[in-house]
Amino acid sequence: EDQVTQSPEALRLQEGESSSLNCSYTVSGLRGLFWYRQDPGKGPEFLFTLYSAGEEKEKERLKATLTKKESFLHITAPKPEDSATYLCAVQARSGNTPLVFGKGTRLSVIA
């Protein structure tokens, strides 16, 4: 069974304090790993897709990396507006399988 585990569940950072969020996964052949950001009361906003180990993607203060077992979302010098829940999801290669989501990491950045 495909599984996604995100850690920590919640993270509180001071503005400018860099850190990383973890997404560990087990999947029967990875088609893609997706990162989303979700603000309260809103739908998830797509951030990145990663397809193979060693791949990296960047967007502003965010950088996503991928290994064969996990992905990290690195946040450099975060600002209060980066506060949100970050969701990780994987899609298996076999058939038209839907995304499997992790439970998310709730990030709070304090000014």
Partner 1 sequence: DTEVTQTPKHLVMGMTNKKSLKCEQHMGHRAMYWYKQKAKKPPELMFVYSYEKLSINESVPSRFSPECPNSSLLNLHLHALQPEDSALYLCASSQGQGGNNSPLHFGNGTRLTVT
> Contact residues for partner 1 (CB under 8 A)?
31-32, 34, 36, 41-46, 49, 51, 87, 91, 95-99, 101-104, 106
Q: CA 87 to CA 11: how far, in whole Å?
A: 13
CB of 15 or CB of 59, closer to partner 1: 59
- Two tokens at 38? 């979700």
Closest CA to 74 of 39, 86, 5: 86
Alpha-carbon span 83 to 107, nearest angstrom: 5
Residue placing its CB nearer to partner 1 in the complex, 24 or 97? 97
What is the closest distance, in whole angstroms, from the C-beta atom of residue 13 to partner 1 in the complex? 19
- In terms of CB distance, is 15 or 39 closer to partner 1? 39
